Structure 1
């Protein structure tokens, strides 16, 4: 035991001392190994804790992302329902408004069309009456004798002409379209005033045709009597035309033309056949000679003018309604454009939301695809080694 194994400097080292020194060195080496192992175990534990915290953070972040995705999906469904409801209400309101306006316009057009058809039908009826009246001119010519007997008396003649003229006027025009024996500003009283539309002056009609001289023409037996009767008739007729012009043609108050009513078609025909110069003179004096059929036709023309004026008034109403309808359509177009812009912006926002949702879904799938099983396996292996080391140390 005291044998020298080796000499360390000048001092000999025995076997015992060498054994003790070797044991100390071995103990120091084992201590270093244990410290190194402990450090490795601590580092692995720290890594495992960090990995566990990271996994927990990732799981929490994924849960938040899933919750956000659910909320976004719910909001999108709500927005889609709201947009669908509002669009349905808007379309229903627009359809109701268009239906109402179309119905109103249709009624107005139908009423105007009906009135036009009624007017044309009445015009055709009046033309048929005129045709029948012209066909009876020959029959009326045979009644000249009876007419002469009636017209022999001046007062009776005036009443007859006035009555026939009034019958024609009353049959053709409404009560508001004429007036009998109206007094003018000059004090004259024409037999009839026909009121014209649009505020135009009325038309004067005289029914006092000078038949005394005309009857002398019928009664003339000789050539001399015939010439005298013609001279008398021309003088009386010219004077009556001048009286009508002076009494009834008042500028601004009456029309610049007046009617002279002849109550017999035969007298009117003979006047135009044998006294054309008097007819031309009457025309130059702005006096138109009319027979019963011509007066009826003239009144029908005036009636058509009155009806046309009423139709123009209705046309103004229709044009006003069409203008209102056009304005409503313009406002509807503007509002539809604004609504379309809102829908376009909403559609753009929804597309952006869908893009964000798609990105979130892709990130979620990437997180799901992470190899978390290997990390958990390494953590379990490290824990087992640490337990074994601790058991060996004990």
Structure 2
């Protein structure tokens, strides 16, 4: 007969009873969690972006699939701060956009969740974004303006390049038009210069440079304005061989013509059947020069004048350089020819008045420069327009084939 160990049977019986009781307890606890049904999550926001700005960020996204979503919540600073965005669903895709203000310059970790009317939330999405403020602003510098060149109402501005990693976009220029109006233009960072065609002559202008810290930033930052006083640089145009001639007037005999703008030629210089001052060339080397030639069947000249107008800066030492291809002018010529720099845009005095006219700043009689260069130094006490050119009274066989004119700063 088989014997049983009642102590062991009692032990197993008690253990089985306890396990059963525990299991019932666990099952009962589970029922407490699902009394109101299974756990429910709302659909999360799609295409989520948080864009940086000046002490703020902009949140953008789409609600696509879940019609129950009624609210978006954004948390930051370890959930100590938050923002709530109400959402009204339609039958389609709904765009969500909101700006969170008053965020000091920093890097933020945002947690974003959607909710339905019952308080059921979506799975959290975490996005890191920055804000920009005084520290970034203090790092910005205005783009360097290399120079500005006024020429009547036309103003040319040349800029230096900049480090593109700074987020630089370009510069805003505020100037006064020739009609006295204030106007603003934008110069892209990829443009090294700009020509303003309607700027009031020598009127001050101001400019500032614009930046975006990232390509997705919602705000633009600006440097302080820098005020600039345009400084003229006297420049002579159509001032070297090959000179251009006035095609409207044309050539006479295939050789003689009148110089193209900005040269101004008076009637006394147009002795070759209504033209004069331009020489298409009688022989090698003399082609397309400036030349007042008398004799050899051509009339004499009396106060023939050719000049152009430019602008000189105040108290700057300049030098006019005048070079010939060939010439037989002499300083001993009666009356003769003169290089002249005169104040104003009204042209040059007559030969007999060159040495005494009050408007004349500087002059030099032309002679002894066959293939050589003459120089004339000058300056003006204030920014001024000046007339630069030559005036001649000559008889007999005289010529001066001019190669170039140039004004340099000493």
Normalising by the smaller structure, the TM-score range is under 0.3
Higher normalized strand content (fraction of residues):
2
Higher normalized helix content (fraction of residues):
1
Greater CA radius of gyration, 1 or 2?
1
**Please, what TM-score do these two structures have when normalized by structure 2?**
0.21
Higher relative contact order (Cα pairs below 8 Å, separated by 6+ residues): 1
